[in-house]
Amino acid sequence: MTFISARNIKKVFNGKKNGNATLAVSGLNLTIRKKEFVTIIGPSGCGKSTFLLMVAGLEKPTAGALTIDGKAVSGPDGQRAIVFQEYLLFPWKTVKGNIEFGPELKNIPKSEYQDISRQLIRLVGLEGFENRYPHELSGGMQQRVAIARALANRPNVLLMDEPFGSLDLLTRESLQLELQNIWEEARCTVLFVTHSITEAIFLADRVVVMSKRPGTIKSVFPIDLARPRTRDIYTTRRFRDYEAAIKASVWEEVR
């Protein structure tokens, strides 16, 4: 059953200085099921992040229809949370304080939002670090806090824009494994933008490849790999076949 629907989406950015317009996305059509994990990959500047921001309600399509659960996206909504590559944590708040910020702002009773933060701290593996400040944490730990803060409002859509892009390889792979567990427990729909083909396949139910600008959906690859996934899957024939097919599709656009 379709949960997120994008039909003939077009996005034009008008230049503020020279007045030149940039057609970023054109004729984009995509449907996403409820609780599905979809990764988006494509050449730099193809509109991946722009599409994510439109789903978040932070950008408006110039044309086309974008709906979630049958309702038009008209602006930001607490049911949609976004995690960026930059952690964007409040430096003056502890781990616990950062996670509790959203529920507290919504006037949820203190006992309830404290229970939410306890659950999420356990879920992202930060028990024992509840009272640490962001500058006392590694990059990977800060990104876990950012994910937990995004989940604190119980969103039904989690949008992730290159969330592991600035991390070292070992930390990145560790968080990929953890994100699977977080998604399985949170059971929200995930739309995940990445430049890594390996990451895209490892995480996804479907990998969406976008064309070069103006971005549209070039191809969609359903990923038929058993869950939970471990690093051992990288060496399997099926994984390598997916990798080769998606790489060929992306490289056609890069060339």
Residues 21 and 141 placed together within one structural domain of the fold: no
- Does the residue 84 lie in any domain? no
Q: Which of 136, 154, 172 is the last residue of a domain?
A: 154
Q: Give the model's pLDDT for residue 170.
A: 85
Residues in the chain: 255
Distance of CA 160 to the CA centre of its chain: 2
- Same domain? 182 vs 142: no
Domain assignment of residue 216, yes or no: yes
Q: Say yes or no: 209 and 142 in one domain.
A: no
Last residue of a domain, one of 154, 189, 205: 154
pLDDT reading at 87 higher than 80: no
Let me know whether 148 and 164 are in one domain. Answer: no
Compute the distance between CA of residue 151 and CA of residue 80 in angstroms, rounded to an integer. Answer: 9
| Same domain membership, residue 175 and residue 111 | no
Instruction: Name residue 10's amino acid.
Output: K
Of 111, 136, 154, the last residue of a domain is: 154
Confidence class for position 18, pLDDT limits 50, 70, 90: low
Which structural domain range is residue 60 located in? 2-79+155-254
- pLDDT of amino acid 36: 96
Residue type, 61: P
**What are the helix (H) ranges across the chain?**
48-56, 95-105, 110-123, 139-151, 169-186, 197-203, 237-254
Residue 166's pLDDT band (boundaries 50, 70, 90)?
confident
Are 36 and 103 members of one domain?
Answer: no
pTM of the model: 0.92
Q: What's the pLDDT tens digit per position in 95-153?
A: 999 999 888 888 888 888 888 899 899 888 899 999 999 999 998 899 889 999 988 88
pLDDT of residue 65: 96
